[in-house]
Amino acid sequence: MSDPVRLGIVGTGSITLRGLLPHLTMEDVQDRVRVVALCDPVLERAEAAAAKFGVDAAYADMESLLAAGGIDAVSIASPIGYHYEQGVMAVEAGLHVHFNKSMTTTVDEADDLIARAAAHGVKLVSSPGELLHPRLQRIKELVQEGALGRLTWAISGSAFGRYHEQETSVRLGDDPLTNINPAWYFRRPGGGPLYDMTVYGLHALTGVVGPAKRVTALSGVRLQEREFRGEMLPTDMDDQTMMVLDFGDAFFAYVYGVAAGNIPGLGRPMIFGTKGMINGATLNGEPIEYPRQDDVLAFNYAAALPHVLGDHRGMEEAHVYEDVMQLVDWVRDDVPTLATAEHARHVIEIFDAAYRSAATGQVQELRTTF
The residues near 168 (Cβ < 8 Å, ≥ 6 apart) are: none
Cα–Cα dist 78/146, whole Å: 41
**pTM of the complete model:** 0.97
DSSP 288: P
Residues 301, 200 contacting (CB under 8 angstroms):
no
Residue-level pLDDT at 2: 87
> Cα(213)–Cα(23) distance, rounded to whole angstroms?
38
pLDDT digits (tens, 9 = 90+) for 102-150: 999 999 999 999 999 999 999 999 999 999 999 999 999 999 999 999 9
pLDDT of residue 1: 73
Is a pLDDT exceeding 80 seen at residue 285? yes
Pick the CATH number of 5-129+325-333 from 3.30.420.280, 3.40.50.720, 3.90.1300.10, 3.30.360.10: 3.40.50.720
The percent of residues above 90 in pLDDT, for the chain, comes to 99
> What confidence tens digit (pLDDT) does each residue in 5-32 have?
999 999 999 999 999 999 999 999 999 9
Asked if residues 50 and 56 have their Cβ atoms less than 8 Å apart, the reply is yes
Q: For residue range 54-98, what is the model confidence (pLDDT) as tens digits? A: 999 999 999 999 999 999 999 999 999 999 999 999 999 999 999
End-to-end CA distance of the chain: 28
Q: What is the band of 295 on the pLDDT scale with cuts at 50, 70, 90?
A: very high
CA dihedral of residues 231, 183, 319, 86 (deg, nearest 10): -150
Q: How far apart are CA 32 and CA 54, in angstroms?
A: 17
User: What pLDDT score was predicted for residue 172?
Assistant: 95
What is the structure's pLDDT at 37?
A: 98
Is residue 237 within 8 Å of residue 221, measured between CB atoms? Answer: yes
What is the rounded average pLDDT of the residues 29-41? 98
Which amino acid, 77? A
For residue range 211-263, list pLDDT tens digits in order: 999 999 999 999 999 999 999 999 999 999 999 999 999 999 999 999 999 99
| For range 350-358, the mean pLDDT | 98
Interaxial angle between packed helices 199-209 and 134-145, expressed in degrees from 0 to 180 and rounded to the nearest 10? 40
- Does residue 357 surpass a pLDDT of 80? yes
Asked whether the CA dihedral 303, 309, 313, 319 is positive or negative, the reply is: negative
Task: With cut-offs at 50, 70 and 90, classify the pLDDT of residue 298.
Answer: very high
* Domain regions of the chain by residue span: 5-129+325-333, 133-305+340-365
Give domain 133-305+340-365's CATH architecture. Answer: 2-Layer Sandwich (3.30)
